[in-house]
């Protein structure tokens, strides 16, 4: 067989060539934009040529700090197609993490949404590798800003070469993208995606037994384009020529419902918090959402009540999936096998609420101290994954790499059972992180800060179930003898150190934190205690 490379360039070229009339609908702060793949194709070429003019070379990292919209989509293709690396930056990270990842990736150019400019202005003197900034606004002119040099995206695209040829010699194993994910301790870890990994993952999203993404879809990724490439959905949707609806900044449930109704969205993807919000909206106001054929829900466990409400009350098919930044991200997806479709409703739901079956192309197993777990839905072990779209190291981070990538497997830190049918169910997490609304909070960082307070003897932070955010942090604190500190004082102390959404919802004062024989916090025991208390 021929060994032709699988590249991102071929995805955008296919859309441009065969789906020139199909549309991308994009919501930005300037309003709704409708562009065809013909328009997008030219603009992508123009952006590549502009980046080249700015000195971006093959292998250079180009960062984006942006919402889900057409300009971000253009960057998704322009940057890898010229051989550079698309580094999508999580806009919700605290400033010190932003500084770290921009420096660690050595981003040469940053593309930034207008409302996010202040995030970069504040740290601009601490990111020396960045040679140019581009504001992704509507205007041809740059806004008032301390960033220098600052270019207007639309001006660059208008002046760029719309017939630019992607001449870079790209090997399919070359890096195409990168994304940092939170670590239990210390700074975020970088995951590099190859052209080949992204291409194979994109194909997997098109399989009938996975997300079945196709040309006939109107695809609306709500999961941020800075979070594991919006689960790869924009790559597949473009490659397959699907219509795309990109919901833009601050897409509240009402906006999502209106976009679905107006543009007859057929499939969407996001974390449970998004769907809980949409559910509330559609239960309060009337919308016609009959166009939807599948909602993909992942990133955190989908509550059974959520699946029930969407499917049984609103007739909207709801699919639970699992993955990680390190896995591009799709790994498992919960669908019934053909012989299970006649099972009673509750049995069907109990299968569909699991994280599901591994997708074709990947291998999984789960291990505990006794070896590989039994597939009986009871035995528990850590999930291990391998396959062509699974990372095999963290970018320039040998210490964190050896912890996670061992013996040819990615060790996920997720504790699972696997049933007789092969369905994976996540039952716990070994990583000391809290996932709130789809984003990570490090309990260890909060604990270190708390224990840095002179009045606090020891502190542990655990997650509590939350109806809106799935998990929220709660701090358990033991004060030094004779010290008086109120909950409000402790929270104010943390507010000065962390972004708002990291600050625990509650502080519980204790006599002692439960510990193991070697003095480690017994987090699971503590979590159970706290859950009973509140």
| List of residues 6+ apart from 339 with CB closer than 8 A | none
Compute, in degrees rounded to 10, the torsion defined by CA atoms 54, 55, 56, 60. Answer: -140
* Cβ atoms of residues 457 and 480 within 8 Å: yes
Of 470, 417, 448, 444, residue with least CA distance to 523? 444
Residues 335 and 357: their CA atoms lie apart, in Å, by: 8
Specify the residue, 435 or 453, whose C-beta has the smaller distance to ligand AMP: 435
Q: Which string of x and - marks every residue 170-189 that binds ligand AMP (by CB under 6 A)?
A: -----------x--------
411 binds ligand AMP (CB under 6 A): no
First to last CA, the chain: 62
461 binds ligand AMP (CB under 6 A): no
Specify the residue, 266 or 355, whose C-beta has the smaller distance to ligand AMP: 355
Q: Which residue in the list 16, 52, 311, 326 is annotated as catalytic?
A: 326
Residues 425 and 442: their CA atoms lie apart, in Å, by: 23
The token pair that represents 132 in the structure block? 């140019």
To the nearest 10 degrees (0 to 180), the angle between helices 443-451 and 487-495 is 110
470 binds ligand AMP (CB under 6 A): no
Least distance from ligand AMP to the Cβ atom of residue 439, Å: 8
The token pair that represents 43 in the structure block? 């603009």
* Cβ atoms of residues 359 and 204 within 8 Å: yes
266 binds ligand AMP (CB under 6 A): no
Specify the residue, 66 or 228, whose C-beta has the smaller distance to ligand AMP: 228
The residues in 284-313 that bind ligand AMP, with binding defined as CB under 6 A, are: 298-301
Based on the residue annotation, tell me whether 435 is a catalytic residue of this protein.
yes
325 binds ligand AMP (CB under 6 A): yes
HSE on the CB side for 201, CA within 13 Å? 30
**Full DSSP string of 434-460:** EEETTEEEEHHHHHHHHHTSTTEEEEE
314 binds ligand AMP (CB under 6 A): no
Least distance from ligand AMP to the Cβ atom of residue 322, Å: 4
Least distance from ligand AMP to the Cβ atom of residue 387, Å: 15
The residues in 327-356 that bind ligand AMP, with binding defined as CB under 6 A, are: 329, 355
Based on the residue annotation, tell me whether 267 is a catalytic residue of this protein.
no
The residues in 493-522 that bind ligand AMP, with binding defined as CB under 6 A, are: none
Based on the residue annotation, tell me whether 172 is a catalytic residue of this protein.
no
E strand map for 153-246: 175-181, 189-194, 218-221, 243-246
Dihedral sign, Cα of residue 77, residue 58, residue 409, residue 462? negative
Based on the residue annotation, tell me whether 280 is a catalytic residue of this protein.
no
Specify the residue, 239 or 322, whose C-beta has the smaller distance to ligand AMP: 322
Size of the site for ligand AMP (CB under 6 A): 18
Least distance from ligand AMP to the Cβ atom of residue 299, Å: 5
The residues in 219-238 that bind ligand AMP, with binding defined as CB under 6 A, are: 228
Annotated catalytic residues are: 181, 326, 435, 440
Point out which residues bind ligand AMP (CB under 6 A).
181, 228, 298-301, 320, 322-325, 329, 355, 412, 414, 426, 429, 435
């Amino acid at each position: 067989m021929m060994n032709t490379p699988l590249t991102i360039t071929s995805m955008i070229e296919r859309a441009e060539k065969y789906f020139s009339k199909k549309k991308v609908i994009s919501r930005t702060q300037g309003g709704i934009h409708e562009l065809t793949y013909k328009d997008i194709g030219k603009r992508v070429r123009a952006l590549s040529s502009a980046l080249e003019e700015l000195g971006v070379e093959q292998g250079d990292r180009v960062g984006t700090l942006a919402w889900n919209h057409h300009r971000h989509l253009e960057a998704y293709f322009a940057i890898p197609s010229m051989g550079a690396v698309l580094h999508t930056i999580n806009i919700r990270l605290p400033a010190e993490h932003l500084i770290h990842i921009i420096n660690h990736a050595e981003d040469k150019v940053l593309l930034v949404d207008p409302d996010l400019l202040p995030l970069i202005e504040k740290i601009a003197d601490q990111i020396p590798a960045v040679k140019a900034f581009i504001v992704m606004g509507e205007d041809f002119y740059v806004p008032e800003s301390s960033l220098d040099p600052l270019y207007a995206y639309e001006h660059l695209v208008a002046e760029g070469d719309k017939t630019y040829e992607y001449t870079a010699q790209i090997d399919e194993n070359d890096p195409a993208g990168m994304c940092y994910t939170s670590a239990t301790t210390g700074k975020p870890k970088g995951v590099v995606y190859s052209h080949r990994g992204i291409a194979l993952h994109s194909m997997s999203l098109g399989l009938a037994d996975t997300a079945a993404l196709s040309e006939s879809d109107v695809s609306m990724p709500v999961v941020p384009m800075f979070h594991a490439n919006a689960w790869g959905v924009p790559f597949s949707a473009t490659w397959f020529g699907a219509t795309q609806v990109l919901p833009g900044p601050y897409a509240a449930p009402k906006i999502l419902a209106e976009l679905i109704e107006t543009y007859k969205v057929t499939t969407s993807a996001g974390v449970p918090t998004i769907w809980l919000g949409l559910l509330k909206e559609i239960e309060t106001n009337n919308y016609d959402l009959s166009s939807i054929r599948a909602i993909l829900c992942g990133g955190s466990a989908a509550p059974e009540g959520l699946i029930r409400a969407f499917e049984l009350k609103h007739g909207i098919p709801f699919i639970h999936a699992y993955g990680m930044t390190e896995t591009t991200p799709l790994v498992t997806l919960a669908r019934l096998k053909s012989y299970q479709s006649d099972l009673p409703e509750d049995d069907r739901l109990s299968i569909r609420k699991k994280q599901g079956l591994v997708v074709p192309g990947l291998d999984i197993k789960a291990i505990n101290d006794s070896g590989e777990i039994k597939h009986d839905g009871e035995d528990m072990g850590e999930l291990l994954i391998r396959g062509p779209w699974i990372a095999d190291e963290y970018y320039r981070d040998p210490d964190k790499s050896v912890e996670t990538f061992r013996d040819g497997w990615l060790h996920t830190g997720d504790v699972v059972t696997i049933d007789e049918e092969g369905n994976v169910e996540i039952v716990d997490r070994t990583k000391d992180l809290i996932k709130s609304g789809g984003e990570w909070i490090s309990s260890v960082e909060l604990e270190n800060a708390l224990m840095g307070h002179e009045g606090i003897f020891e502190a542990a932070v655990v997650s509590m179930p939350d109806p809106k955010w799935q998990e929220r942090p709660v701090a358990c604190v033991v004060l030094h003898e004779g010290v008086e500190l109120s909950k409000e004082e402790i929270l104010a102390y943390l507010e000065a150190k962390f972004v708002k959404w990291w600050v625990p919802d509650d502080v519980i004062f204790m006599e002692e934190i439960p510990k193991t024989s070697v003095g480690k916090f017994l987090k699971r025991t503590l979590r159970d205690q706290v859950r009973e208390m509140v």
